[in-house]
Amino acid sequence: LALLREGDWFGITTMAVGLSALQSVLEEGNKDDWFGSPFIVKLALLAGVSLSLFIANELLVEKPLIRLRLLKIRSFGLGTVAAVFIGFALFGSIYLLPAYLGQVQRYNAEQIGAVLAWTGLPQLLLIPLVPKLMERFDIRFIAFVGTAIFAASSFMNTTMSLDYSGDQLFLPNVVRAVGQALLLTPLSAISLGSVAPQDAPAASGISNMMRNLGGAVGTAVLSTIVTKREQFHSNIIGQSVDIARVEVRERIATMTDYFMAHGMTDPAGARHQAIIALGKTVKQQALIMGFSDTFAVVGIVLVLAGIALLLTGKPKGGAATGGAH
């Protein structure tokens, strides 16, 4: 009973309410046009107020639920910032790749799984070697190299075309897997190596929570970026698809002949179908370009994570080994 009375119940309540509201905002925001929806606005205000009260409470009370004061430690604070960015990219990539294959290439779940399955093999081979690398090299360098490789895999996906499918994704996926294998364990060691051993459990909880929060934010933000960039590119391409242009008229005529040769007897109906097909082609190309832009955003976020890692101090090694996972 004494432990229950000493519990940080105000912190527990404000964190639960704030994170629940924030999760709802992130999950429903893109579908409901974000702050164009009164419901999303109310949830966002509730999340903002609750999380602000939670942070203030955790910094002031004697026995907080989450020891946010640990973020004042340079390496741990910067390592946590890097963890947020990496969570953004990690969970964002997990969202983007299946979404691209499903929406653009029309892959089913089994085909998507076959494309993504190859990412596990490099990790199985490399992860057992990472501790050996950490014994021989500065772990900040290992984490930075892993982040750079991860970022490179994202930038490899910025030149997508209609023919960019499972075979073309093989190399970027393998590169991404190598980067992730080199990154995750050293990242934990960098953050936890700067805190006292008795603070390692609390620090590990903060780092993992912030990485997952970065992932939730990343998935929502990247989903919105895909939508907005698709609309942008669709408008730009649409301005060029003008019926007054000779190329457009020739394309419609060719497609009309195609439909006439495949069963349609009404020329007007065939022309209508040709225009619809041309519109779908524009939309599909705009969607591909939207995904390409979004992968570029993931790459930029990883560059920021790499910079944060380089700014951390050299770990002391006290809590790093025990808390790295």
**What confidence score (pLDDT) does residue 307 get?**
94
How many Å apart are CA 325 and CA 323, to the nearest integer? Answer: 6
How many Å apart are CA 319 and CA 197, to the nearest integer? Answer: 5
**What confidence score (pLDDT) does residue 323 get?**
42
Percent of the chain with pLDDT over 70: 95
The answer, yes or no, to whether residue 297 has pLDDT greater than 70, is yes
**Total-model pTM:** 0.84
Mean pLDDT confidence for 235-250: 83
Confidence of residue 319 (pLDDT cuts 50, 70, 90): very low
Instruction: Provide the mean pLDDT of the chain.
Output: 87
Written as one letter, the residue type at 22 is L
User: Could you identify the residue written with the tokens 């009375």?
Assistant: 5
Per-residue pLDDT reduced to its tens digit, 14-44: 999 998 998 888 888 878 888 888 989 999 9
- How many Å from the N-terminal Cα to the C-terminal Cα in the chain? 33
